[in-house]
Chain A
Amino acid sequence: MTEDANPERLLFASTTQSFLEKEASLARLRELHAAGASFEAGWWQRAAELGWTSLLVPEDLGGGSVSGDGVADLALVAELAGRTVAPGPLHPVSTVLAGLVEAPENHQDTIESLISGEAVASWAVYEPGKPWAPLNTSVTATRTETGYRIDGVKDRVEAGVESAVLLVVAQHEGAVRQFLVPTDAPGVRVEPQRSIDMVKSYARVHFDGVEVDDSAAVGTAEQTAGLIARQSQIAQMLQCAEVVGILDTVLAFTIQWGFDRHSFGRPIGSYQALKHKYADLKIWFEACRATTNAAVAEVASRSAGADMAVSVAKSYVGEHAPGMLQDCIQLHGGIGVTWEHDLHLFLRRVTLYRSMFGTPEDHNLHVYALTEHLEPAS
């Protein structure tokens, strides 16, 4: 959790935490999984009432944040959600809102329904068989008399089945644009995709001659690259923050195990080989937290370094977190690879996030390209 001692934020944090502990426990996660469900709509509306969906939205659009720094507050929610690998569309809804509030014209109603939790939205940015490249799209938007016709296929759309509306990246007359497309529009077909997470579901979405009005466009052609950059940063920052919450929790109970579990008459944490493994975990954890905090601060202040800071964090956290979970499983011994133990619930989520919205390798390439641009070889 952030060290910020702002009293409103502390109250917000404790309310959010007790809600998550009661209403999004690991036991509940297993129930949802057994039922083949992602999350309950009513539960999400209650989460929205706590303020989760209004944090990125300015007050004149019906939003607001407790501390005045909505990005940091949202990162805090994600971190707390990580403690119980909570279900719910926090990431896709926040990502769509991050784009809409930059270009709210014609979209006030959508923003309102997302804030209230009545509707869920998601960003349709990935395309089948292609790696993370948000500006590289083969979905097309063709001019019609009253608007646009959308054709093509997107996939890896989080909560696509539950979403009422999608923010679709498409190319129009040689420019990348984004459009809000209702999922009940004729020509939209949503096909669920399984993920390795217990509850997070994804969807492949086919757009066959889907007609939308002029007003479906989000922002201008000139604005779009900036909007996509901001949305990417929010999505990636949320992943890092949630992983920090996961690691904090898993490390805490794995360290406790090192004291409680005895072999050959000694706590296993007294063996130097394991003690050093624990030390590594602590080092990597503090580094994950440090780089995530730095990324959140840069995104919150919309600094010119935000792009770099987010890629640095996403690469580092993505490189380390899954291996750290595996180390924790190793430290637990055989119990760690059972279905009954909760470790795999956490492992699933960090492994999912490692590879979504850019793998560590993708972000290493991006960091290199930014460095090359900033400091050309002399």
Chain B
Amino acid sequence: MTETAPAPTETTESVEEFAARARAWLADNMPPIDPNNPPEHDRGEEEPWLRARELQKKLYEGGFAGICFPKEYGGLGLPIAYQKAFDNESRCYELPIILNTPTFTICAATILDTGSEEQKQQHISAALRGDEVLVQLLSEPSGGSDLAGVITRADRVGDKWVINGAKTWSTSAFAADYGLMLARTNWDVPKHEGLTMFLVPINSPGITLRRIKQVNGSVEFCEEFFDNLELGDDAVVGEVGGGWQVASRQLYHERRAVGGGSEFASGIGAEGKSDVPIDYVALLKKTGQADSEHARVLAGRALVHRAVREQLIDHVYHGVLDGSLPPAAGSIIRVTHAETHHLEFDTALAISGSSGVVDGGDDVLRFGERYLSRQTAALGGGTTEIAKNIIGERILGFPREYAADRGVPFNQVKRNKS
């Protein structure tokens, strides 16, 4: 498996020159937006995905897609400084932000690490052209945090793989072309050893897709049911029986991406109004607390934590690159992301007072509504508790948690109460 390494510099163009060229190109080609009031992109609707594909196509044609992806797969092969410069220049333009995660930061990054040459040629390029949206089909209704315990099965029948089972919590799978799907191909070996990763065309016969409605009304997540879905050997990513190695790369990329530390994300804008950072100055003004020292201290603290989160992302990113921190340090970003979200949502709720729970016509109720979904940040991309296990065990080196299924053939492992 190849590590995702910073691409070698193969350009004579300096970061500043690149930024200037991007600035001019963006002005001529991309729709301008107010970054504090971006167009609403509800990831649960179809339209934003069509829009994102169009915008991605424009980026590709303009030569600004996949800045950190290798050239041979349609990217530019440049170091992260170029991506950051582009992010900075593109702040006031509409970008296909919703394609960042999971398509680019997790799926394309994992295919780059573990896929066959054909898979890289086909899927990374297609995603960069705006022709493919990629998703992850990992979690299962019976699974929770124990991802390696998946029970979706892939059985060998002739020269085909036949898939049966169910997946859940698949981000925007309804809008996707392909999904990275983890299935069990061998039940006679311990759980991590009997897995294989497949790249599944979402619109195949044999897949039934259903939306999941969340507390905040979002229908972005999906669940999928597989009934005798047939796949060929070309759908296998990595080795048969090597699915856990591929999934581990996905988890690694996911933790970095969810925390905001991926070089494969392009554009740093909000995904939509609900994703815009809380404007505390406006909120204090609106709630008549512009001069309240108490409210100002609360808001100031949230701003401090927000700033430190950004500094930490930068610090960990460079720490992992220069080897002063292990790759598992992505979990540090992951936990901080959740804790900063908590603090921000809690702070906004506190400042909002009763306007956050009864609509006073001042648009403050949304902070109460946002609060209801607070825990999503501590659950998505693996829970905060799992991330803390990872930090304790893989960064600090403490003994692993006891697992009753370690080394036991999977068909002998107790599952739930069965």
| A contacts with B, residue count (CB < 8 A) | 44
Nearest B residue to A309, CB-CB? B307
Contact between B385 and A276, CB atoms less than 8 A apart: yes
Tell whether, in the assembled complex, residue B311 and residue A290 are in contact, meaning their CB atoms are under 8 Å apart.
Answer: yes
Q: How far is the CA of A290 from the CA of B317 in the complex (A)?
A: 11
The CA of A372 and the CA of B295, in the complex, are separated in Å by 13
Binary interface profile of B, 277-305, with partner A (CB < 8 Å = 1, else 0)?
00111101110001001001111110111
Among B296, B309, B393, B399, point to the contact of A368 (Cβ < 8 A). B296
Query: In chain B between 381 and 417, which residues have their CB closer than 8 angstroms to a CB of chain A?
Result: 385, 387-389, 391-393, 395-399, 401
A283, B336: Cβ atoms under 8 Å?
yes
Q: B304's contact among A283, A294, A367, by CB below 8 Å, is which?
A: A367
Q: Of the candidates B279, B290, B297, B312, which one forms a contact with A286 in the assembled complex, judged by CB atoms under 8 Å apart?
A: B312
What is the 8 Å Cβ interface bit string for chain B, positions 305-321, against chain A (1 contact, 0 not)?
10111011011101100
Q: Does A360 contact B (CB under 8 A)?
A: yes
Query: In angstroms, how far is the closest chain A Cβ from the Cβ of B260?
Result: 13
Q: Which chain B residues border A378 with CB–CB below 8 Å?
A: 36, 279, 282
B304 touches A316 (CB 8 A): yes
**Is A294's CB under 8 angstroms from B311's CB?**
yes
List the A side residues contacting B282 at CB < 8 Å: 377-378
Tell me the complex Cα distance, A360–B308, Å. 14
Do A269 and B307 touch (CB < 8 A)? no
The number of chain B residues with a CB under 8 A from chain A is: 49
A275 within 8 Å of B (CB atoms) = yes
Q: Which residues of A contact B318 (CB under 8 A)?
A: 3
Known A-B contacts A3-B324, A364-B297, A368-B297; A279 and B388 likewise in contact (beta carbons under 8 Å): yes
Return the CB mask of B341-365 against A: 1 if under 8 Å, else 0.
Answer: 0000000000000000000000000
A282 touches B395 (CB 8 A): yes
Complex: A252 Cα to B109 Cα, angstroms? 34
Q: Is the CB of B391 within 8 A of A283?
A: yes
Interface residues of A in 332-378 (CB under 8 A from B): 360-361, 363-369, 371-372, 375-378
Tell whether A36 is near chain B: CB-to-CB under 8 Å. no
A367 / chain B contacts, CB cutoff of 8 Å: 300, 303-304, 307
Contact check, B305 vs A316: say whether CB atoms are below 8 A apart.
yes
Q: Given the known A-B contacts A279-B335, A360-B301, A366-B300, are A376 and B281 also in contact in the complex, defined by CB atoms under 8 Å?
A: yes
Q: Which one of A269, A276, A291, A366 contacts B399 once the chains associate, using CB atoms below 8 Å?
A: A269
Cα distance A169–B67 in the bound complex, in angstroms: 53
CA distance A316 to B385 in the complex (A): 23
A234 at the interface (CB under 8 A from B): no
Contact of B280 among A312, A316, A371 (CB under 8 A): A371
Point out the residues of chain A lying under 8 angstroms from B3, CB to CB. none
Q: Would you give the shortest CB distance from B167 to chain A, in whole angstroms? A: 28
Contact of B332 among A282, A308, A365, A371 (CB under 8 A): A282
Residue positions of A touching B, CB distance < 8 A: 3, 255, 258-259, 266-267, 269-270, 272, 275-276, 278-280, 282-283, 286-287, 289-291, 293-294, 308, 311-312, 315-316, 319, 360-361, 363-369, 371-372, 375-378
Task: List, sorted by A's number, 14 A–B pairs whose CB atoms are closer than 8 Å.
Answer: A3-B318, A276-B385, A279-B396, A282-B391, A283-B332, A286-B315, A294-B311, A364-B301, A364-B304, A365-B296, A365-B300, A368-B296, A368-B300, A377-B286
Report which B residues bind A (CB closer than 8 A).
36, 279-282, 284-286, 290, 293, 296-301, 303-305, 307-309, 311-312, 314-316, 318-319, 322, 324-325, 329, 332, 335-336, 385, 387-389, 391-393, 395-399, 401
